[in-house]
Amino acid sequence: MTTDELNWWETAVIYQIYPRSFQDSNDDGIGDLPGITTRLDYIANLGVDAIWISPFFKSPQKDFGYDVSDYCDVNPEYGTLADFDKLLAKAHDLNLKVMVDIVPAHCSDQHAWFIESRQSRDNEKADWFHWVEPMPDGTPPTNWLSFFGGPAWTWEPRRQQYYLHNFLTSQPNLNHANPAVREALMDVAHFWFDRGVDGFRLDAVHTINANSAPYENNLANPEFVPGDLPQQQQPFFRQLHDSAQLNQPVIQLFSESLREVSDHYGDRFLMGELHGDDPIKASQTFTAPGRLHATYNFNLLHWDGLNVDELKAAITQAIEAFNGTGRLSFAFSNHDVPRSATRQLARLGLRDDQQQALQLLLLKLETCLIGSSCIYQGEELALQDVQDIPVEQMQDPWGIEFAPVFLGRDTCRTPIVWKGDAPNGDFSRANSTWLPIDQRHLQRAALDEAARPASIYNQFSEFLQWRKDQPAIMQANTMSELTGEAKQIVFDRVSEQQRLRCLFDFETLTATFEEV
């Protein structure tokens, strides 16, 4: 087996950029596309293979880009299409692939499609969203609940009907039962592929709704036990969502159509984010032949972290289903959960001064598993999660809804700092930034760490260079079952040329590798 037999995405290390918090180029306190372009050398020098940029499309920013009002233009806060083209060209010059974050399940209520649709029952976009009659007593048509709290249905007086939204009321779900909706999203895919992007991260594909009326109620979750965290106590989790609301089989009409478009362009990558009552089963469904290339799920993204036994169980479950393939993308952090070093430190009972060693160990573990992996901005610096954002400065609508007992997702979204001795850490020269700068992060500013030989950034960079020379990792997606003592994770990566034993010790916080 040779490297040429694997697609680039099957072994890729993908660096996720949250554009609002990466680099501000015009001093308005908000990160933007030109800012990202100025920092691409920093990313390329780390040794990753691709970048994934969270949504930068036109949007009222009620959910910070995941509420799209125009899929084919750039929100003015982030720049212009010309700015994106410059970013793309420089990334490709640096041998970085570029993935953009498409939101196929829902859009903003400010999108022209919804503005037209909500006006009447007989306009051209009348059935582009899920419009349903009320129950005889005026209540919503089903018991479905929103991820962000409250019912998943909102009343529209102009149509005298309810519309569906799995998230905010301002994020109406597109009606994928309508072929015209799918075709419009295929036009979006063509637009960005024609521009030269290398792939899509597809947001929350399990929340695409394509079933037509009559809609059925979700079943009760007989195993529900309120967790310790506020979000685990929401009524949402009292239901089994795959019984009706989520992961509907007809969703695959979308994934198959998108794969057909992708294949037309050759070496492109489709990675779908999903969750569900059984995320592994859902991943297998979404990556069946002719559908998405890989899925990105929450197996390692538990809000309160995982102990070593739980890590083993989560990885084992995934490997048993996908061993020998590149159809999974693993992640320990992203823009939706607390930073990995902080939550895993607490879950593993480690000291604060062990955070950097733990972060490096997690990065090495993640990038030694089969398939691709996603690194969230700041993991290469072992940044801490920010737990002291004042309620009046919070931005995340989910956090604001449940404040002060739940801090939401702002804690992992604060701006990246670049120079410890510069105002705002050289993120921005504005008087204030959209989220506050964490003063602790100044001690691990990105450019300072890149210049320090012993930093996590440089140790991980060296590791990624070593990784590229290992046939067992780069030329096959096969690994043995997990073994090891109580605080160890041990497995072999296997190719025709090499069998590489990988040992991750969570007591000494070290990783060792040997050919066997």
- CA dihedral (475, 361, 340, 466) in degrees, to 10, reads -40
Cα–Cα nearest to 105, from 60, 139, 152, 159: 152
Which of 203, 438, 448, 449 is flagged as catalytic?
203
Half-sphere exposure of 416 (CA within 13 A, CB side): 29
* C-beta separation of 172 from 181 below 8 A: no
Q: For residue 292, with 0-12 CB atoms within 10 Å meaning exposed, 13-18 middle and 19 or more buried, which class applies? A: buried
8-state DSSP, 454: T
Residue 222: name the closest of 207, 237, 234 by CA: 237
Residue 278 is among the residues annotated as catalytic for this protein: no
Contact 411, 389 (CB under 8 A): yes
For residues 318 and 330, give the distance between their C-alpha atoms in angstroms, rounded to a whole number: 10
Q: Please, which residues have CB within 8 angstroms of residue 17's CB and are 6 or more apart in sequence?
A: 36, 43, 51, 52, 53, 54, 377
Beta carbons within 8 Å of 4's beta carbon, 6+ residues apart = none
Q: What is the rounded distance in angstroms from the CA atom of residue 68 to the CA atom of residue 332?
A: 26
Cα–Cα nearest to 510, from 370, 393, 398, 357: 357
* H or E element, residue 57: strand 57-58
End-to-end CA separation in angstroms for the chain: 19
d(CA 147, CA 139): 19
203 is catalytic: yes
Q: The tokens of 436 are what?
A: 């506050």
Query: What are the φ and ψ backbone dihedral angles of 334, each rounded to 5 degrees?
Result: -165, -170
Tell me if 343 sits within 8 A of 307, measured CB to CB.
Answer: no
Comparing C-alpha atoms, which of 239, 220, 69, 236 is closest to residue 148?
236
Catalytic residue among 77, 101, 273, 426: 273
Residues catalogued as catalytic:
203, 273
